[in-house]
């Protein structure tokens, strides 16, 4: 009997990622990995390449796909699928689960001549409600983490193979990925890896099951030299495995066809262990990490690990309201596009929504995820392309994003707006022709990894650091931007502040608002489109009315304000917008003021503000009654595979208005313009 080595590699690049980033990943990890494997035709390998990456490779490196096809034909390699655009399957409708999996299977059949029956479960997010779609799609097996199995009461020594689960009597095989092997391969010295595999063999294990990110083989920090350079880890590993008579590499399907199941299992809802930490609210995530650390120090971790669990993936829809808004807009449009009468037009709209379901922008852990604006922009780009097929007029007042506040959803000619009961604020400001949402900002939030940042942490003496072990350092510049917001970074936020407040106080949110309007509940109406609220300013009665008038030239908003504190406070309307090219552009305020986006500006009587983005898009605000405008970019500090990143998330604009006794009336006009020669593709 031999120990069957089931080595699977998952390779992914998200929809909307920069081409130079994908090219770098190809050169550092995907290309050298497949080239080395090609030298060892008797070593069996299981590949997963996601749809966005396959489309990139088809356009840029078709010869690479030919090499993969050659390995499949000579029965060295197997291809598994997921949803084509790599959605978290539990987060999308049943019809899209089927559609995404079938799209992936069709592509693999056409491009590689292979009938894929195995499925890589995106982020290993498992819920039993997935089983009907998996079975209907012709899937025979899936891979998840061993942590799923440990929670059922199975012990680690019983996880070296596969189990059967079922839905209404239809079986599905499930393989448990070894966490131990995830941290050994390829980070630890070869002798250490082989010693662990030998222990499995001597204990009578049927298989060593490993399926993990291909990016760890060359793209993660320090791994390229370790895997392919001086250490030549991968080539030495393949040679060593093929030399040992007690170990036999197989594809997952080969193992499934030659070995029986270890038993039957019903798995709980969950993902891999680290995801449970990341999905928790930040204070609880910190407490959870400290609890796990304590258990490790006490030497009881291995015994109690199956009983320790954090949150679930769906918690990201609560943790980040911006994620929830993207998700609920996707569900709304998915229902609406079914009513498109022309089949080809409906199919293309559904295809755009499938692209928008790519998982990366919907959560955050070690990788940037939702903190990366270009990934969020890609979600909105494809959603808005689908929305263009629905016609130019739609209005509905209900709680679209299920946050407990109603939203007025407007689609009028070129604009898409969402106005929330909470604060009477603008939560979406999109152009259909540009397929771009200027309100796609991100609030600055405390994250649990902001605590205990270490400086200059070294990797292990031998090997290379796992992505979970890399030290986190920040510069003084980054530290200055580590601020937190007490409300979301949306627009038409109503403040009552001293008229001479400094921009530093606005930037750090270190001010006391004399009004109770920012988080208050407004009453929304549709004829005309409006938001109004009676509240207080400095303990005295106050009232705000906002009237939204979308038209061909943009959005006109009339603001009516009455407050007893007239003369001592300013009425301040805060906007937060994000520009397509980040900081590549200039702000103009009349003929005498032109400044780079990165600068802080404090302007008197601005009248007209124009954000000229490098893409050729201009966001123009006409604010004739404003006495003062304060403008600055804001950033987040977020975790990535390389450390802590400072990321532009938008521009804050505070417009100050004088308050006089009785009703005050102010008008703001927002226009979206496109200059000739622009580069923003819709």
Given this model, what pLDDT does residue 459 score?
Answer: 43
Residue that the structure tokens 């796909």 belong to: 65
Given this model, what pLDDT does residue 468 score?
Answer: 45
- CA pair distance 538, 569, nearest whole angstrom: 10
Q: What is the pLDDT of residues 136-157, one digit of tens each?
A: 999 999 999 999 999 999 999 9
Cα of 451 vs its chain's centroid, Å: 22
- CA pair distance 139, 131, nearest whole angstrom: 10
- CA pair distance 440, 489, nearest whole angstrom: 9
The proportion of the chain whose per-residue pLDDT surpasses 70, expressed as a percent, equals 96
Residue that the structure tokens 């909307």 belong to: 16
In the set 23, 156, 213, 485, the catalytic residue is 213
Please, are residues 67 and 34 in contact by the beta-carbon 8 Å criterion? Answer: yes
What is the bridge-based pairing of β-strands 554-563 and 663-674?
antiparallel
Q: What is the pLDDT of residues 312-335, one digit of tens each?
A: 999 999 999 999 999 999 999 999
Given this model, what pLDDT does residue 674 score?
Answer: 84
Given this model, what pLDDT does residue 466 score?
Answer: 47
| Residue 268 DSSP symbol | P
Domain 404-445+474-674 = CATH 3.40.50.720: no
Task: Please say if the pLDDT value at position 58 is more than 50.
Answer: yes
Given this model, what pLDDT does residue 4 score?
Answer: 98
Q: What is the pLDDT of residues 646-682, one digit of tens each?
A: 999 999 999 999 999 999 999 999 999 987 655 565 5
Q: What is the pLDDT of residues 393-406, one digit of tens each?
A: 999 999 999 999 99
In the set 123, 146, 360, 488, the catalytic residue is 123
Q: What is the pLDDT of residues 208-252, one digit of tens each?
A: 999 999 999 999 989 999 999 988 999 999 999 999 999 999 999
Q: Where are the alpha helices (DSSP H) in 11-170?
A: 19-25, 31-38, 51-60, 62-73, 94-112, 131-136, 146-150
Given this model, what pLDDT does residue 680 score?
Answer: 65
Q: What is the pLDDT of residues 583-621, one digit of tens each?
A: 999 999 977 789 999 999 999 999 999 999 999 999 999
- CA pair distance 190, 641, nearest whole angstrom: 24
Active site annotation includes 565? no
What count of Cα atoms within 13 Å lies in the side-chain half-sphere of residue 403?
A: 23
Given this model, what pLDDT does residue 681 score?
Answer: 57
Considering the entire predicted model, what is its pTM? 0.95
**H-helix or E-strand spanning residue 234:** helix 233-243
Given this model, what pLDDT does residue 460 score?
Answer: 45
Given this model, what pLDDT does residue 682 score?
Answer: 57
Burial of 512 (0-12, 13-18, 19+ CB in 10 A): exposed
Please, are residues 424 and 546 in contact by the beta-carbon 8 Å criterion? Answer: yes
Q: Among the listed ranges 84-88, 455-459, 485-489, 516-520, which one has the minimum average pLDDT value?
A: 455-459
Given this model, what pLDDT does residue 291 score?
Answer: 97
- CA pair distance 267, 146, nearest whole angstrom: 11
Maximum Cα interatomic distance, the chain, rounded to a whole number of Å = 91
Q: What is the pLDDT of residues 619-640, one digit of tens each?
A: 999 999 999 999 999 999 999 8
Which top CATH class is 3-265?
A: alpha beta
Active site annotation includes 123? yes
- CA pair distance 612, 621, nearest whole angstrom: 12
Is residue 78 very low, low, confident or very high in pLDDT (cuts 50, 70, 90)?
A: very high
Q: What is the pLDDT of residues 245-266, one digit of tens each?
A: 999 999 999 999 999 999 999 9
Please, are residues 575 and 626 in contact by the beta-carbon 8 Å criterion? Answer: no
Task: Please say if the pLDDT value at position 529 is more than 60.
Answer: yes
Given this model, what pLDDT does residue 564 score?
Answer: 84
Q: What is the pLDDT of residues 371-398, one digit of tens each?
A: 999 999 999 999 999 999 998 899 999 9
Task: Please say if the pLDDT value at position 115 is more than 80.
Answer: yes
Residue that the structure tokens 């009516």 belong to: 560
Given this model, what pLDDT does residue 463 score?
Answer: 52
367: left (phi over 0), alpha (psi -120 to 50) or beta: beta
In the chain, the N- to C-terminal Cα span, in Å, equals 58
Domain definitions of the chain by residue range: 3-265, 404-445+474-674
Mean pLDDT of the chain: 94
Q: What is the pLDDT of residues 417-447, one digit of tens each?
A: 999 999 999 999 999 999 999 999 999 999 9
């Amino acid at each position: 009997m031999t120990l069957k080595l089931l080595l699977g590699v998952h390779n992914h690049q998200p929809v909307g990622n920069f081409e130079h980033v994908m090219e770098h990943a190809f050169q550092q990890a995907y290309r050298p990995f497949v080239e080395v494997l090609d030298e060892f035709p008797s070593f069996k390998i299981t590949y997963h390449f996601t749809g966005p990456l396959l489309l990139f490779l088809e356009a840029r490196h078709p010869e690479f796909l030919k090499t993969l096809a050659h390995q499949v034909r000579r029965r060295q390699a197997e291809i598994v699928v997921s949803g084509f655009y790599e959605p978290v399957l539990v987060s999308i409708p049943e019809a899209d689960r089927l559609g995404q999996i079938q799209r992936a299977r069709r592509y693999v059949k056409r491009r590689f001549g292979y009938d894929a029956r195995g499925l890589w479960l995106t982020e290993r997010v498992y819920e039993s409600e997935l089983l009907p779609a998996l079975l209907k799609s012709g899937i025979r097996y899936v891979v998840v983490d061993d942590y799923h199995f440990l929670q059922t009461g199975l012990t680690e020594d019983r996880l070296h193979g596969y189990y059967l689960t079922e839905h209404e009597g239809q079986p599905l095989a499930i393989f448990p990925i070894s966490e131990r092997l995830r941290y050994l391969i390829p980070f630890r010295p070869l002798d250490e890896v082989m010693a662990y595999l030998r222990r499995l063999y001597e204990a009578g294990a049927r298989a060593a099951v490993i399926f993990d990110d291909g990016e760890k083989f060359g793209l993660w920090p320090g791994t390229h030299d370790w895997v392919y350079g001086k250490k030549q880890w991968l080539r030495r590993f393949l040679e060593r495995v093929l030399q040992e008579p007690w170990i036999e590499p197989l594809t997952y399907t080969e193992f499934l066809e030659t070995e029986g199941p270890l038993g039957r299992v019903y798995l709980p809802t969950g993902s891999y262990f680290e995801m449970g930490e990341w999905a928790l609210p930040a204070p609880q995530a910190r407490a959870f990490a400290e609890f796990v650390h304590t258990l490790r120090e006490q030497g009881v971790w291995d015994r109690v690990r199956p009983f320790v669990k954090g949150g679930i993936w769906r918690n990201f829809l609560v943790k980040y309201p911006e994620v929830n808004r993207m998700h609920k807009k996707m569900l709304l449009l998915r229902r609406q596009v079914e009513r498109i009468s022309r089949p080809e037009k409906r199919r293309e709209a559904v295809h755009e929504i499938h692209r928008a379901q790519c998982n990366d922008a919907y959560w955050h852990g070690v990788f940037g995820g939702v903190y990366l604006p270009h990934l969020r922009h890609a979600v909105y780009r494809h959603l808005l392309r689908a929305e263009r097929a629905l016609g130019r007029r739609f209005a509905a007042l209900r709680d679209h994003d299920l946050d407990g506040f109603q939203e007025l959803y407007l689609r009028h000619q070129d604009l898409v707006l969402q106005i929330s009961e909470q604060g009477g604020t603008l939560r979406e400001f999109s152009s259909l022709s540009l397929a771009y949402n200027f309100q796609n900002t991100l609030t600055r939030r405390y994250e649990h990894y902001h605590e205990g940042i270490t400086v200059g942490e070294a990797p292990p003496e031998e090997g290379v650091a796992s992505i979970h072990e890399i030290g986190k350092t920040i510069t003084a510049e980054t530290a200055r931007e580590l601020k937190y917001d007490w409300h979301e970074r949306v627009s038409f936020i109503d403040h009552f502040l001293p008229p001479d407040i400094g921009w530093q106080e606005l930037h750090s949110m270190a001010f006391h608002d004399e009004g109770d309007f920012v988080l208050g509940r407004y009453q929304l109406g549709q004829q005309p489109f409006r938001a109004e609220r009676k509240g207080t300013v400095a303990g005295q009665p106050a009232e705000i009315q906002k009237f939204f008038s979308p038209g061909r030239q943009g959005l006109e908003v009339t603001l009516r304000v009455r407050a007893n504190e007239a003369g001592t406070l300013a009425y301040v309307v805060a906007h937060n917008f994000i520009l397509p090219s980040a900081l590549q552009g200039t702000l103009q305020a009349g003929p005498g003021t032109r400044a780079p986006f990165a600068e802080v500006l404090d302007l008197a009587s601005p009248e007209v503000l124009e954000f000229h983005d490098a893409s050729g898009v201009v966001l123009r605000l006409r604010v004739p009654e404003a006495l003062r405008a304060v403008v600055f970019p804001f950033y987040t500090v977020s975790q990535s595979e390389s450390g802590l990143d400072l990321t532009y998330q938008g521009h804050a604009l505070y417009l100050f208005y004088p308050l006089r006794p009785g009703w005050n009336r102010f008008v703001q006009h927002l226009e979206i313009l496109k200059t000739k020669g622009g580069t923003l593709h819709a």
